[in-house]
Structure formats: C-alpha cells, structure tokens
Amino acid sequence: MRARAAQRARYREERIACNAELSPRLVRKYCPIDDASKRLLELAMQRLGLSARAYGRILKVARTIADLDGRDAIQSTDVAEAISYRSLDRAGDRRLEGTA
C-alpha cells in the first residue's frame, strides 16, 4: 500500500496512478538509472535479444521494486531483479511454444 501511495503522489500531475501506466516519455522522466545500471540493462538487452519495448518494461518493474523497498532512486539491484523476472518470463514463453 505504501508503494502505491508513493506512486499516486509521484504521478499526481501526470494523470496516471501507477508505474504500469508510464509512457515511454514518462519512463525516461521517472525511471532514471545510473551508468552501471545502464550497462547492465544494455548487456541484458543484447544477450536476451530484448526489444526497446522490453527496455521500458524492465525499467517500470525496477521502479516498482524500488517503490516496494521505499526508495526514491532505482538501484542496479532493482534493474537486475527486473531483468531476472523478464528472463524467467521469456523462458516460460519458450516452454509454452514447445507445447503448441
């Protein structure tokens, strides 16, 4: 509930209520990451073959992880955790493709 309250307060001027509703422009505004996090994310993009859209989704999840921990800034650990969820999701997609 604290994380949702923080999101509502953060986005009160944007007419959105949560991280999931961030547009690409708002992701750039509200999900800044440091250079180490950028390198980590770029490496994951290359190795996992992720799209630009996935980049934004990972940042939204990282923003949520930081919110759940009560932090204003996204840390590289948040980015790494978000990437791990994305790679798990992709592994599940590949397993499902094999059953079709």
> What is the tens place of the pLDDT at every residue in 8-26?
999 999 999 999 999 999 9
DSSP string covering 33-82, please? --HHHHHHHHHHHHHHT--HHHHHHHHHHHHHHHHHTT-SS--HHHHHHH
Distance between CA atoms of 65 and 60, rounded to whole angstroms? 9
pLDDT at res. 96: 42
Expressed as residue numbers, the domain containing 23 is 2-97
Q: Which amino acid is it at 2? A: R
Distance between CA atoms of 8 and 44, rounded to whole angstroms? 30
Q: What is the count of structural domains for the chain?
A: 1
pLDDT in tens, 41-100: 999 999 999 999 999 999 999 999 999 999 999 999 999 999 999 876 665 455 445 544
What does pTM read for this prediction? Answer: 0.86
pLDDT at res. 61: 97
pLDDT at res. 86: 85
Residue predicted with more confidence, 91 or 40: 40
